Amino acid sequence: MKFLDQAKVYIRSGDGGAGCVSFRREKFIEYGGPDGGDGGRGGDVWIEAVDGLNTLIDYRYQQHFKAKTGMHGAGRQMHGPNAEDVVLKVPVGTEVLEEDGETLVADMDIVGKRIRLAKGGNGGFGNVHFKGPINQAPRFALPGQEGIERWVWLRLKLIADVGLVGLPNAGKSTFLAAVSAAKPKIADYPFTTLTPNLGVVDLSTNERFVIADIPGLIEGASEGAGLGVRFLGHVERSATLIHLVDGTQDDVADAYRTVRAELAAYGEGIADKAEIVALNKVDALDPETRKKKLAELKKAAGKKPMVVSGVSGEGVKELLRDAYAMVRERKAEVAAEGKPVEAWRP
């Protein structure tokens, strides 16, 4: 299944049904009078966050969603039935934006959250509503109200507790495969990962968190170089970042600064998130080189980096423990602020 994290869709709620002009004509009833029924209400357009979806691929093949018109009224004061609603089902974490792509309409961040995007038109009154002492036989009824039409953007931001960032070939996919059951594509060339990958880390029965592998950033990503920063939105909700730096490259300090510069250029508070810096691929370094690289990275990051290897497993457990501690701390802060914390469920 292909990964699709944004889609533009057209929605239109249904028109209301027209009211009916009718008169009661029955044998032995001298004064029948008007008896036209009301039209039914047009269908609404709703959006709902559901479990089991992790991509917007369904909206690649269907972009138009139109609710039906309510049924028209009939004689004998029979009202037309309401039309059925249309429900757009999306993954948890989907944002609904106006056509300008910036104005937020709804944030579907909780399973079961349901919001009406377009209200159906009300049905028109039948002529029975307009009878009175002056006009006892009205020969008119109201048409139904028109529905609402609009274009909206659906933009998915994966809900992950920890985000993996780094240059291409920093070993992010290998690390993800080592710590979770995820099976990302792994190769020895840049930009192997073209879309984000999610994995669930199980430290123990009650210690679990979600980690997201974001495609590599390069210098100029904020201006569109490489894959750009399009996928950085998937770590906006993360509690912390794990910044992996390839220990086998020549200048680890420059690698660290390059990614940090792109995070800052992207904005949205990502550069301010708690960060764990880790020197990766240390299994390929001799002790002297390892010591030198650690010193260079520590100077650039301003903090002591961790030492890990997704291949040998060195330092992986300690890194995951630190990341989980930061996740718990962040969730405690959110809970203290009074915001609901949605627990992730596999």
**Over the stretch 198-242, which tens digit does the pLDDT of each residue have?**
888 888 878 888 898 888 888 877 777 767 777 888 888 888 999
Residue 284 CB neighbour total at 10 angstroms: 14
Amino acid symbol at 29: I
Q: pLDDT, tens digit, for every residue of 2-40?
A: 678 889 999 999 999 999 999 988 887 777 889 999 999
DSSP per position, 292-337: HHHHHHHHHHTSPPEE--TTT-TTHHHHHHHHHHHHHHHHHHHHHT
Per residue in 245-263, pLDDT tens? 999 988 999 999 999 998 9
pLDDT at 58 over 80: yes
* H or E element at residue 8: strand 6-12
Q: Report the relative pairing of strands 94-97 and 104-108 from DSSP bridges.
A: antiparallel
- Interhelix angle 252-266/287-301, rounded to 10 degrees, is 30
Domains parsed from the chain with CATH numbers: 1-156 (2.70.210.12), 162-336 (3.40.50.300)
Which position has the token pair 């680890």? 252
pLDDT beyond 60 at 339? no
| Backbone dihedral angles phi then psi of residue 279, each to the nearest 5 degrees | -85, 115
pLDDT at 95: 94
Residue 303 has pLDDT above 80, yes or no: yes
CA–CA separation, 338 vs 341, rounded Å?
Answer: 9
What's the start-to-end Cα distance of the chain, in Å?
18
User: In which band, very low, low, confident or very high, does the pLDDT at 341 lie, cut at 50, 70 and 90?
Assistant: very low
What is the arrangement of strands in the sheet containing 114-118, beginning at the earlier edge strand?
A: 86-91, 45-50, 114-118
Whether 111 contacts 50, CB under 8 Å: yes
Q: Exposed, middle or buried by CB within 10 Å (0-12, 13-18, 19+), for 109?
A: middle
Q: How would you class 30 by CB atoms within 10 Å of its CB: exposed for 0-12, middle for 13-18, buried for 19 or more?
A: exposed
State how beta strands 45-50 and 240-246 pair. Answer: unpaired
- Confidence (pLDDT) at 159: 79
Q: CA-to-CA distance for 302 and 292, rounded, in angstroms?
A: 15
Distances from the Cα of 251 to the Cα of 117, 247, 296, 311, angstroms? 51, 9, 8, 22
